[in-house]
Structure 1
Amino acid sequence: MERITALEQITSQLKDELVVCNIGFPSRELYHVKDSPKHFYMMGSMGMASSIGLGLALSQKRKVIVFDGDGSLLMNLGSLVTIYNQSPQNLVLVVLDNECYGSTGNQCTYSSTTDLKKVAEGVGFKNTILYTESEDKIDFSPVLDMEGPVFVHVKIQAGNAKVPVIPMEPEEIKERFIREVQGK
């Protein structure tokens, strides 16, 4: 499954959840398949989507979905330990794993030899889910019903969809998202 397909399938099942999306092509693809004021598209800070999502989940009651990449998660593995120890019941961390740094030139990551789901379980995550690359359909409803924190490992094909850049300035993305979070 391609990342854009996984994003499309998962977001089609979301309702009122807040979304934090990893930098680069994942954010561009999410914007292309389903733009929403509920989505925070990261424009920088590689490796920080999980930490931003954690802070957001701790600050309010709405469910928070974080779309992260394997490369970004590997850059900030400490976030898994912090997420587990803070234990926000409203956080779902979705790692879209294409075994490469897709936004910086497709350099290989170590997720081909490191099982990220087992890493999350080793940290202590009770609810972990794996969707394999060969699956045609992602049923995300069981994930949305789980008490967090939830770790979802989605194996995807390498490559980026040919989608344009997000036609908003970072400040506009931030301000629009803040208004949504504050209910204004």
Structure 2
Amino acid sequence: MRRFDAIKAIVQKAEDKDSLLICNIGYPSRELHHLKDRSANFYMLGSMGLSSSIGLGVALSVPDRHVIAIDGDGSVLMNMGSLATIAHQHPENYLLVVIDNGAYGSTGNQLTATALGTDLAIVAKGAGIDEVHNTFSEEEFREKLKNVDRGVIVVHVDAGNSKVPVIHLTPEKIIERFMSECARPSMSS
């Protein structure tokens, strides 16, 4: 499975649940924007390693909305402390999806520690997160997305970036429309 396909599946869940969606920097945000631009998407244009932390903050500050954060293996490795904070706070409305391609995809596909054996699902469990799932196929990942609304899902994908255009929204526009979306009550049942 490619990261693009994993993001496509996440978009479907986000639309079904009317979720706020925070996406990792670089190509993941570009791929999300290409697949489905929506005001409920927050595209990281900087701050590598902070999608999980920003997602947690949004989930805690907007408890009536479901929040999904998309992060990469390289970013989670850079900010592993966020896993312990997520475990300690354990919000019911927060799902972190870690797309593990074993590479720093936006900077040239250099190997990450996960390509060398680090298992982020085990790390998340060790940090104290009680609901952690490790998926290795598109079918398994889609099934988990249907049934899991909180905790962490690690989805293993092939390295590589889709050819998608850059995001032409300004950072000010991204945050302005996302903040307006955060203030809106959820449309999901």
TM range (shorter): over 0.9
Q: 1: CA distance between counterparts of 2:141 and 2:77? A: 26
Q: 2: CA distance between counterparts of 1:20 and 1:118? A: 23
| 8 Å CA contact 1:131, 1:138 repeated in 2 | no
Q: Which runs of 5+ in 2 are unaligned?
A: none
CA RMSD, 1 decimal: 1.5
Query: 1:9 — aligned with what?
Result: 9
Q: TM-score, normalised by structure 2?
A: 0.91
Q: How many residues align?
A: 180
- Determine helix, strand or coil for the equivalent of 2:28: helix
Q: 1: CA distance between counterparts of 2:127 and 2:76? A: 14
Query: 1:151 — aligned with what?
Result: 152
The 5-angstrom pairing of residues 3-42 of structure 1 reads 3-14=3-14, 15=16, 16-42=18-44
Amino acid aligned to 1:60: V
Identity of aligned residues (%): 51
Q: 1: CA distance between counterparts of 2:113 and 2:25? A: 19
Query: 2:110 — aligned with what?
Result: 107
Q: 1: CA distance between counterparts of 2:36 and 2:161? A: 16
Runs of 4+ aligned residues of structure 1 deviating over 4 Å after TM superposition are: 133-137
Query: 2:52 — aligned with what?
Result: 50
User: Which stretch of the first structure deviates more once superposed, 128-137 or 47-56?
Assistant: 128-137
Q: Which runs of 5+ in 1 are unaligned?
A: none
Q: TM-score, normalised by structure 1?
A: 0.93
The answer to whether structure 1 residue 94 and structure 2 residue 85 are counterparts is no
Amino acid aligned to 1:5: D
